[in-house]
Amino acid sequence: MISDLLHKQIRFSQLLFFALTSSLGLGILLVVFQLFVDTQSLFGSSNDLLGNQTVIISKAIGKDNAFTEEEIETLKQQDFVKKVGSFTNGTYRVQGSVSLLGMGGMSTDMFLESVSDRFIDVQDENWKWSPESRRVPVIIPKNYIDLYNYGFAPGAGLPQINQKVISQIPIKLSLTGSSKRKMYDAYILATSEKINTILVPKSFLEYTNQVLSPDIEVKISRVIMEVTNPSDPKLLDFFEKNNYQYFQSELLSSRISYFLQLVLAIVLGIGILITALSITLVITNINLLILKNKQTICQLYFLGFSRKQIASVYHKISYKILGVSICIALILVVICKFIFAPFLTILQTESSAFSLIYVFIVAIVLFVVLALYYTKHTNKKIAQMTAVNTSLLTTEI
Amino acid sequence: MTIQIQTIIPTYFTPASSEVWSKVFSLESGQKYLVKAASGSGKSSFFNFLYGLNNKFTGAIQFDGKDILSYTEPEWTQLRRKKISIVFQGLRLFPELTALENIQLKNQLTAHKTEAEILAYMKRLDVDQLAHKQAETLSYGQQQRVAIVRALCQPFELLLLDEPFSHIDDVQIANATSLILEEVSQRNATLVIASLGNSYNIDYTKTLLL
């Protein structure tokens, strides 16, 4: 009966407005959250297009163009630099030979370099080496394969090869250092679009440098850095001042990545702002519903109804509306997911249904948090309204 | 329930000297009291103090030795359900509910009376034929009788009636007082009636001039 009495003052249009504001805020928040989850793989290190924002620098060609320890330290201390890794090269002569079954063999002089694993865009459990290992994994730039397939192979009458085949080609590495010569079996583990050099595991390079040319000092030829904002003028100034060279194109894709992240952050920010506004609107709406019934609530209270009994009528209303709003928001999320899917495919990101699970979890958490907040707010309002000495209760002298 | 009143004075107006303000006295179970005063001298304030709606007073009011200022909100709710019943001067009926619904709303808290009993009470006060009419369509005198029945539909040890018969004719006052006195004596409750002057032919234990 108390519920019927309190509902008499509540208009359907008011509840509809309540539900709409609530759905709008929750919908925007969940859609942006879903977009955020879906685009995260874009910025992961495994994504070639917009992976970590890295820049490779080198010194101008000259006699002594290795980086010193002090220079590396200075780089690390710059506030626009997040992580610094160095390229080291083999201090020995390398000859690689390949023998293709039934097609003779070829051999070439080459070089080996290594860099910290965290800068490599290949994640493979075989990317490791120890002196007991049978073969050495090698990562080569992807454009080497392209050069072979589209440049060299057709002219030489050789077959084109794909990534799978390439890893099965046995390679022999002959390393000639200042004091020793050694042979190793190697294979191409993967190709990289990001790092333009022939890479071997760091442990292999350190070991062979030590064993083959113990007397030659290992030099840092190039430096790879993860930066916060590749367009930062401070960064470019710094390069200019120190005469460091960098790849413009690399910087460009990093800039795109930075720009996209910025846009996403702004969208998320606006989403949060709209959600905050909609929560404020919902709170105002609850206040309005309670205020409209001020007289009834006070009278019920001093007839002997507890605040809890009175508040529970409003709790039920807000839970129902919150539930409906969350459902509407989730429907919006699913619709948007289908709308966004083609665009995300263009951006080379894997759009899976997995992000929906995250969205569902967030929706449940939001429901619980908001329900608790609205409950607390309603209880507070009703307590305020029915407190002793409120004007309505004491108008009669 | 014994109610001890110890030198209470409202803090929001200065009352004239009286037999209530600044005095020490008690209201005993099974006794009937009339608080008699001109309009504006603080009758409703006194009732609001006793009912826990207003605590702007100095001095102390005790129910069975316990200071009423120490009661918590749930304790007051329990008191209003089981120990103290009131007819407000302003009645406080819900205009959108029918007369019967207004009474049932209060009755459902303790399920004190059956619907038949309620209708029998209404019949005694000659408002049974109005049971299904909306309260806002009733005359003030009819509303007063509905409010009296509502106040009787709960257990109580203290019954506060704030000018309950101001708009009721003498025949109905007689009906109402006999019903009220029956209920009060059945429960051995304390009865406090506020009136502007009329004593409604009730044999009071004491008349307090306010």
ipTM reported for the complex, 2 dp:
0.91
pLDDT of res. A368:
95
How many other CB atoms are found less than 10 A from the CB of residue B22? 14
Task: Give A-chain residues touching B13 at CB under 8 angstroms.
Answer: 397
pLDDT of res. B195:
92
Task: Give A-chain residues touching B51 at CB under 8 angstroms.
Answer: 302
Of B155, B144, B150, B141, the closest CA to residue B102 belongs to B150
Residue listed under structure tokens 């009458």: A157
Substitution target from A302, A386, A389 for chain B, most B beta carbons within 10 A: A302
Q: Do B77 and A389 touch (CB under 8 A)?
A: no
Q: Which of A155-164, B78-87, B101-110 has the lowest mean pLDDT?
A: A155-164
Q: What does each C-alpha distance from A377 to A21, A73, A344, A383, A390 come to in angstroms?
A: 18, 54, 41, 10, 19
pLDDT of res. A363:
93
DSSP track, A84-117? EEEEEE-SSEEEEEEE-TTS-EEEEEE--EE--G
Alpha-carbon distance B174 to nearest alpha carbon in chain A (angstroms):
26
Instruction: Report residue A206: phi and psi, to 5°.
Output: -65, -45
d(CA A6, CA A216): 89
Residues 6+ away with beta carbon under 8 Å from B103 = B118, B122, B146, B149, B150, B153
- Are A383 and A292 in contact by the 8 Å Cβ rule? The answer is no
- Are A386 and A295 in contact by the 8 Å Cβ rule? The answer is no
Chain B residue at shortest CA distance from A387: B53
3-state SS assignment for residue B77: helix
Q: Do A5 and B96 touch (CB under 8 A)?
A: yes
Between A307-346 and A354-385, two packed helices, what is the crossing angle to 10 degrees? 150
Task: Give B-chain residues touching A2 at CB under 8 angstroms.
Answer: 105
Q: Which of residues 368-397 of A touch B (CB under 8 A)?
A: 383, 388-389, 393-397
Q: Do B92 and A299 touch (CB under 8 A)?
A: yes
Which pLDDT tens digit goes with each residue over B17-72? 889 999 999 999 999 999 998 888 888 899 999 999 999 999 999 999 999 999 99
How many other CB atoms are found less than 10 A from the CB of residue B118? 23
Instruction: Answer yes or no: pTM beyond 0.90.
Output: no
For A239, the token pair is: 């390069």
Instruction: For residue A185, give the amino acid letter.
Output: D
A54-59/B190-195 β-pairing:
unpaired
Q: Walk across the sheet containing A171-176 and list its strands.
A: A105-110, A93-99, A171-176, A181-192, A135-141
pLDDT of res. A395:
56
For B201, the token pair is: 């032919």
Which pLDDT tens digit goes with each residue over B116-172? 999 999 999 999 999 999 999 999 999 999 999 999 999 999 999 999 998 999 999
Q: Which of residues 49-78 of B touch A (CB under 8 A)?
A: 51-56, 73-74, 77
3-state helix, strand, coil in chain A (%, to 5): 55, 15, 30
Instruction: Report residue A172: phi and psi, to 5°.
Output: -110, 130
Interface residue A287 vs chain B (CB under 8 A): no
Output the CATH code of domain B31-41+71-209. 3.40.50.300
Residues 6+ away with beta carbon under 8 Å from B46 = B20, B35, B194, B210
Q: Which H or E run includes B59?
A: strand B57-63
d(CA A368, CA B124): 53
User: Looking at the partner chain, which of A299, A307, A393 has a beta carbon nearest the beta carbon of B94?
Assistant: A299
Residue listed under structure tokens 């509303």: B143
pLDDT means per 10 residues, chain A with 397 residues, are: 84 85 88 82 54 75 79 86 86 86 76 87 86 90 87 84 83 89 91 86 91 86 80 80 75 72 83 87 88 90 92 93 92 88 70 79 94 95 88 55
Instruction: Say if residue B124 is exposed, middle or buried (CB neighbours under 10 Å; 0-12, 13-18, 19+).
Output: middle
pLDDT of res. B80:
95
B206-209/B190-195 β-pairing:
unpaired
Task: Give A-chain residues touching B48 at CB under 8 angstroms.
Answer: 393-394, 396
Instruction: Report residue A188: phi and psi, to 5°.
Output: -85, 115
Residue listed under structure tokens 């009906």: B175
User: Looking at the partner chain, which of A306, A393, A396 has a beta carbon nearest the beta carbon of B89?
Assistant: A396
Q: Do B80 and A302 touch (CB under 8 A)?
A: yes
Q: Do A304 and B106 touch (CB under 8 A)?
A: yes
For A342, the token pair is: 């083609």
Q: Do B105 and A5 touch (CB under 8 A)?
A: yes
d(CA A79, CA A87): 22
Name the β-bridge partners of A137.
Answer: A187
Between B170-187 and B115-124, two packed helices, what is the crossing angle to 10 degrees? 140
Name the β-bridge partners of B35.
Answer: B194, B208
Residue listed under structure tokens 């209920």: B183
d(CA A284, CA A318): 12
